Amino acid sequence: MSIKGKAWKYGDDVNTDVIFPGKYTYTITDPKEMAIHALEDLDSKFAKEVKKEDIIVAGRNFGCGSSREQAATCLKYAGVGAIVAKSFSRIFFRNAINQGLPLVQCKEAAENISSGELIEINFEKGKLSCKKGVFDFPPLPESVLGILNDGGLIPHTRKILKIEKGE
Amino acid sequence: MGKTFAEKMLALKSGKESVIAGEIVTVSPDLVMSHDNSAAIAKKFKQIGIDKVKHPEKIIIPLDHCVPAATEKYASNHKEIREFVREQKIENFYDINIGVCHQVLPEKGHILPGTMILGADSHTTTYGAFGAFSTGIGRSEVASIWATDEIWLRVPETIKINIEGEIPPGIYPKDIILYIIGDLGADGALYKAVEFSGKVIRDMDIGGRMTLCNMAVEMGAKIGYVEPDEKTIQWLAPRINKKYEIIKSDADAEYEKIINYDISDLEPQIACPHTVDNVKPVSKVAGAKIDQALIGTCTNGRLEDLKVASKILRGKKISSGVRLLIFPASMEVFAQAMELGILQKLVKSGAVIMNPGCGPCLGAHEGALAPGEVCLSTANRNFKGRMGCKEAEVYLASPATVAISSLYGEITDVRGDLK
């Protein structure tokens, strides 16, 4: 699988409250509506202008804070194709994979990508291409990749339990 | 080479002889907690395509994030949860009158040393104060555990934090953990297990240990852990009737890092807007005006916290420009504080006593902020927009600092009052 999209660059410690504010956590249940509020308290332009397969590029500890899965869901439904960061907060990492949203942990790439440039990521080969060159990143562990390839944890669990189709 | 607590727990729960840091294992937890997010989790569970949860006895659901319901939407959310609980025969359900999940689970005897608790809440790390392995997971993961009784976890490396010295007057566990988070940074313990040890921890009461483990996640930790001792056993004794096994790290366990602190000269600490690791001594920001003061939440809403506040406020009135909100962490705390006359004292000082729950901590209700306002809170997060408004500022400090500051209407060093 590979994707190509525009980079939206942010800094360190982008937390779940600025990705998806707590005040919406129990009032917004439709993922498409969640997408309207993606990164609302960090970059008000983002949700309006983001295109399918665009890529978020950030510094350290992306997604720190709450366990709210909507932080991953809102980005996924806003069209984000992948997130490249120096590191990810633990629960956000899990939530993104569980929503079928690919993550690339690559310090060098995150440092070298400029906001707005077009970047391409090949997940099988573990390569990211941007203006400043091609960067290698380690593949995700096999068990984690399995969840991502099944489109997220719910379809993955359905597969494990050999259930044809859920509700 | 010996094993760490985290390695022992993940071997135990995955049915393996032994595991090492970095390994990925599949575990079956002892308990899975979710709160007001349980209706959303139930929807995901139904999407899997099965009707019945695998182990209803392993599921625990306290309502706390927006209780009582603020609007029709919140009310419908609670209603869906109550219906799901009935349908699935989940016995461990606590409705809106019990308290905050991280206080209620230990109080009601659900937390045992040497067990694994996973929760759809990042502050699930709190139960490490009792020698449990506990950490936060996402909603899909809870739904999946309800269906399969399994989840993957990576075995974390362990950082040991030794805290030595004598706690100076005016310094509380909250000051200590804020200082450590400020020192190590918001990702200073990312993916790691953090063991708190040393004389200060041995001397610390259970509530203080809970504050430390609660906030371990604010430096990225997967779990916080305090080795159970006589205090732990005494605290748990009247609450549980099951046998448990205390699991400890071996003396020769391999730690990724051992960090030593001596807190004998520590000043009161405060996390400034808008990150938890933006920590300064209170003396550096003293004089900053506040509009709202909050004592409560899963970090600092316990009886010992309310006692400290009432001692500082006793016989005095809070500043006329300040709203002081008190959220006891549970109904048990509320009842005890009432019996001891603590709530009466706080009310006389001008505080508003709220019902046990998360309150405005996540910006849902009961004290949200307006643009330009400043709140000094005992909670654990101060991110932009956290308390419902991105143009407001939130500072985090100990119950003592919050209480003294509400008297003066500005951020105040509590040590001045001790002289």
B66 is in an annotated binding site: no
For residue B61, list its beta bridge partners: B93
Q: Which two tokens stand for residue B25?
A: 């294992």
Is A26 in contact with B73 (Cβ distance < 8 A)? yes
User: Which residues on B lie below 8 Å from A143 (Cβ)?
Assistant: 24, 152
Instruction: Show Cβ contacts of residue B91 under 8 Å, excluding neighbours closer than 6 positions.
Output: B56, B57
pLDDT tens figures, A20-76:
998 898 889 999 999 999 999 999 999 999 999 999 999 999 999 999 999 999 999
Q: Which two tokens stand for residue B236?
A: 């748990």
Average pLDDT, integer, range B62-78:
96
pLDDT at B406 over 80: yes
Best to test chain B binding among A26, A142, A150, A162 (most B CBs inside 10 Å): A26
Instruction: Show Cβ contacts of residue B86 under 8 Å, excluding neighbours closer than 6 positions.
Output: none
pLDDT at position B416, please?
87
Is B65 in contact with A25 (Cβ distance < 8 A)? yes
pLDDT at position B419, please?
57
User: Which residues on A lie below 8 Å from B362 (Cβ)?
Assistant: 22-23, 25, 66
Question: Per CATH, is B269-418 categorized as 3.30.499.10?
Answer: yes
Domain positions in chain A:
2-138
Best to test chain B binding among A74, A157, A160, A167 (most B CBs inside 10 Å): A157
Q: How far apart are the first and last CA of chain B?
A: 50
What is the β-pairing status of strands A118-122 and A127-130? antiparallel
Give yes or no for a contact between B310 and B342, defined as CB atoms under 8 angstroms apart. yes
CATH code 3.30.499.10 region(s) in chain B: 5-261, 269-418
Q: Considering the domain B5-261, what is its CATH architecture?
A: 2-Layer Sandwich (3.30)
B71 has a chain A CB within 8 A of its CB: yes
**Which residue in A has a C-alpha nearest to residue B362's C-alpha?**
A22
pLDDT at position B417, please?
76
pLDDT at position A22, please?
87
Q: What is the mean pLDDT of chain B?
A: 97
B101 is in an annotated binding site: no
Of A12, A67, A157, the CB nearest to B138: A67
pLDDT tens figures, B94-129:
999 999 999 999 999 999 999 999 999 999 999 999
pLDDT tens figures, B172-210:
999 999 999 999 999 999 999 999 999 999 999 999 999
pLDDT at position A165, please?
63
Best to test chain A binding among B122, B142, B153, B218 (most A CBs inside 10 Å): B122
B70 has a chain A CB within 8 A of its CB: no
- Identify the CATH assignment for A2-138 out of 3.30.365.10, 3.30.70.120, 3.40.190.10, 3.20.19.10: 3.20.19.10
User: Which residues on A lie below 8 Å from B81 (Cβ)?
Assistant: none
Alpha-helix residue ranges (DSSP H) falling in chain A? 16-19, 31-36, 46-49, 70-78, 90-98, 107-112, 142-149, 153-160
A151 has a chain B CB within 8 A of its CB: no
Q: Which two tokens stand for residue B332?
A: 């048990």
pLDDT at B308 over 70: yes
Give yes or no for a contact between B160 and B195, defined as CB atoms under 8 angstroms apart. yes
Is A69 in contact with B138 (Cβ distance < 8 A)? yes
CA pair distance A20, A69, nearest whole angstrom = 9
Average pLDDT, integer, range A94-120:
97
pLDDT at B260 over 60: yes
A124 has a chain B CB within 8 A of its CB: no
Is B187 in contact with A154 (Cβ distance < 8 A)? no
